[in-house]
Amino acid sequence: MEDKYRNLIETTEESDVIFHGRVFDTIVKKVRLADGREARREIVVHNGGACVLPVDDDLNCYMVRQFRSPFEKILLEVPAGKIEKGEDPRVCAIRELHEETGFEASELIEFGGMSVSPGYDSEIVYLYMARGLKQIGQRLDEGEFLNVEKIPLATLLEMAEKGEIIDSKTQLCIYKAARRLGI
């Protein structure tokens, strides 16, 4: 770490798990700030996720619509799922592509990772674009309900620009794919 950033560092003095769940844990940390004062941090600890934007040869994308309980509404998103402990994000993206859309891809292009909400959440979502699509049959998880929709990438770009797509991983995948594909 460069010396010019040392004044930004917090040191963890204590850390307690206050919730252990199926998807994430929550911890509370007591930290020492650079100026010597104490502070408390509440953090969601998450294994991360992977998402994939399937794009066919005509630049149509295969999106999923599903109900999202925190918002009490149906959202349009790229296929995605959580990374299992120790799982490679690429393997997760391939699995979710197959499970949610029924596609396999001959090419998986990595777009990097994104921090979802770094102020309190450790989740990193890894983004991919799938090309060379072949339909092999959908395999939804038990209790998973979604619709797959074919939407042109140019239309998705317009929807993202208008704020019609609120999911950040979906927006970022759309923008990165559009740039990569010259739209």
Claim to verify: residue 87 and residue 168 sit in the same structural domain: yes
| pLDDT for position 103 | 98
Claim to verify: residue 42 and residue 95 sit in the same structural domain: no
Claim to verify: residue 42 and residue 23 sit in the same structural domain: yes
Domain of 15 in residue numbering reads as 3-46
Claim to verify: residue 114 and residue 63 sit in the same structural domain: yes
| pLDDT for position 2 | 72
| pLDDT for position 4 | 85
Question: What is the domain count for the chain?
Answer: 2
Claim to verify: residue 41 and residue 102 sit in the same structural domain: no
Residue 1's pLDDT band (boundaries 50, 70, 90)? Answer: low
Look at the pTM and tell me if it is higher than 0.75.
yes
Claim to verify: residue 63 and residue 27 sit in the same structural domain: no
Say whether 164 is catalytic: no
Claim to verify: residue 24 and residue 58 sit in the same structural domain: no
Catalytic residue among 99, 104, 142, 164: 142
Token couple for 6: 């040392």
Please write the tens of the pLDDT for every residue from 3-28: 888 888 999 999 999 999 988 999 99
Please write the tens of the pLDDT for every residue from 111-158: 999 998 999 999 999 999 999 999 998 888 888 899 999 999 999 999
Q: Decide which of 12, 29, 46 is a domain's last residue.
A: 46
Please write the tens of the pLDDT for every residue from 50-82: 999 999 999 999 999 999 999 999 999 999 999
Claim to verify: residue 74 and residue 63 sit in the same structural domain: yes
